[in-house]
Chain A
């Protein structure tokens, strides 16, 4: 330990610019590896979550991006006609979000309400940490709901929440039936790596009656995320024409085959490009670390030689270098963890409910997994740098000539 402190104080910190440079290079390499790892993990999770949509007869709606849509001209009578037709001819799933309710909570978060119908509820595997799943029988008096883990302390299972429904604008009573798992999330169907966290959300069940009472916002929003089940191309095209002739909106409905192509081709291609980019960046960062190491050897060789001449053995020097680089990597890793944590906390400062996460340092499972990957890569990089440094030092003949 004494040797290590001596080396750090008298040799390494004497050239603090090189230490700082190494720290910055390692931090950059760590950040790039972390971003790529988390992105890949998040995409994998999103893919697993949405695999359920990969079935025959399932079609997902999407506003046609190539057509200019006129939302101002739509009336609620028109959209209601679409829903009446849907109700009588199709099996459809609605899981729509983006509605904010004023529900008091200690964190002062704007609570997001997700409206879900029975078909969508059956389609998704919603896991609870407490309580029971909701039923869709009697939704008229007190609605049974599921709430996010962030609201669980204030609204435990069995408690009743009173709020003005953001869709019907009527006072509503909700009974907490169950609590969602901590950091439960829903991945975007079209951007699998992007997630909305449900810690400050409420899953509110809806039925035909509710849709009739609700506002145009929900009608249009729900059409954007509409899923048709057990349907056919012919039925889908018919619905597409009906929506266009009634509301003027043009939707695309993607079939299971198209989804499959999208998920497999597009995402596999994307993942390959990200992996390649990260590899290239990592090789460059390792190259820079080696360059910095060579400079360090160039400048520190006199100090190393003096110590080797007075009895410092190569194994001891190797051990000191491992300890020193262990400290450098640890500082860089800690900075990365703080950086990621600050990013997660920023959602709390912004009171952004759909990005608010729970856990130690507000980090969630995929953050920790990505950090573990970074740690493993750091270990490999550390071993590589120290061994490279030792090889270089050993090649230099230990003589008084080095000191001149």
Chain B
């Protein structure tokens, strides 16, 4: 993590954003499974929410876009200075990409604990990983020297 664009607070922030998305997805899947077909008061309330599970989860992934956007906007000066002191923009990008992936992977593995506890498939969050990788890739393009 040496020479990283991430500070400790940034790492913590994005770690919890990823974790939040994974946890919400797992909880919604658990609620969907538990209350499937139930017409009880709580059941119909839960069903009216989990009916839009995919939309809700994808909407929440927007938090990652917000974070990446503000992170790169804030780091513009730092990126320029790093470039001035001899780093190539490829190195900065590569480091940012790898570190973002590590934080996401860590968050994913921590979220698996909840999946195990709720006895739901460990694969349910994989589509989120695919979405996040895309976000990271797109944001990596934004890491450039102006």
- What is A's interface to B at a CB cutoff of 8 Å? 15, 17-18, 20-21, 24, 27-28, 31-32, 35-36, 39, 43, 188, 190-194, 266-267, 270-271, 273-274, 277, 288, 292, 295, 298-299
Contacts and interface: CB of A to CB of B under 8 A. Distances in A.
A73 to B, nearest CB: 26
B70 A32 contact: no
Contacts of B59: 24, 27-28
Given A17-B69, A24-B62, A270-B40, A39 B74 contact: no
Interface string B36-69: 0001111011001100100010011011011101
B66 A191 contact: no
B134 interface: no
Closest 6 A-B residue pairs measured CB to CB?
Answer: A270-B41, A21-B66, A191-B39, A17-B69, A295-B70, A39-B45
A18 B41 contact: no
22 contacts: A15-B73, A17-B65, A17-B66, A18-B66, A18-B69, A21-B65, A28-B56, A28-B59, A32-B49, A35-B48, A36-B45, A191-B39, A191-B40, A191-B41, A192-B41, A193-B44, A193-B45, A194-B39, A270-B41, A270-B42, A295-B66, A299-B70
Nearest to B31: A277
Contact of A191 (B44, B52, B74): B44
B75 to A, nearest CB: 12
A156 B48 CA distance: 37
B63 A288 contact: yes
A43 B69 CA distance: 44
Interface of B: 39-42, 44-45, 48-49, 52, 56, 59-60, 62-63, 65-67, 69-70, 73-74
A230 B39 CA distance: 30
A267 B41 contact: yes
B142 to A, nearest CB: 11
A153 B60 CA distance: 47
Nearest to B67: A295
Nearest to B38: A191
B42 A274 contact: yes
A156 B96 CA distance: 72
Chain B binding surface, main DSSP class: helix
A21 B49 CA distance: 20
Nearest to B41: A270
A400 B61 CA distance: 36
Nearest to A36: B45
A39 B65 contact: no
Given A24-B59, A32-B49, A299-B73, A194 B66 contact: no
Contacts of A18: 66, 69-70
Contacts of A271: 41
Contacts of A274: 41-42, 45
Contacts of A20: 62
A21 B62 contact: yes
A39 B49 CA distance: 12
Nearest to A339: B52
Contacts of B65: 17, 21
A299 B74 contact: yes
B21 to A, nearest CB: 11
Contacts of A191: 39-41, 44
A123 to B, nearest CB: 23
Contacts of B63: 21, 288
Nearest to B48: A35
Contacts of A266: 41
A286 to B, nearest CB: 14
Contacts of B45: 35-36, 39, 193, 274, 277
Given A35-B49, A39-B48, A288-B63, A193 B70 contact: no
A274 B41 CA distance: 9
Contacts of A24: 59, 62
Contacts of A273: 42
A24 B70 CA distance: 17
Nearest to A28: B59
Given A191-B41, A274-B45, 12 more contacts: A15-B69, A15-B73, A17-B66, A21-B63, A21-B66, A28-B60, A36-B45, A39-B45, A43-B41, A267-B41, A274-B41, A295-B67
A93 B78 CA distance: 79
Contacts of B66: 17-18, 21, 292, 295
A403 B59 CA distance: 33
Chain B CB within 10 A, most for which of A15, A190, A277, A295: A295
Nearest to A192: B41
A35 B46 CA distance: 9
A324 B78 CA distance: 32
Chain A CB within 10 A, most for which of B41, B44, B56, B60: B41
A273 B31 CA distance: 14
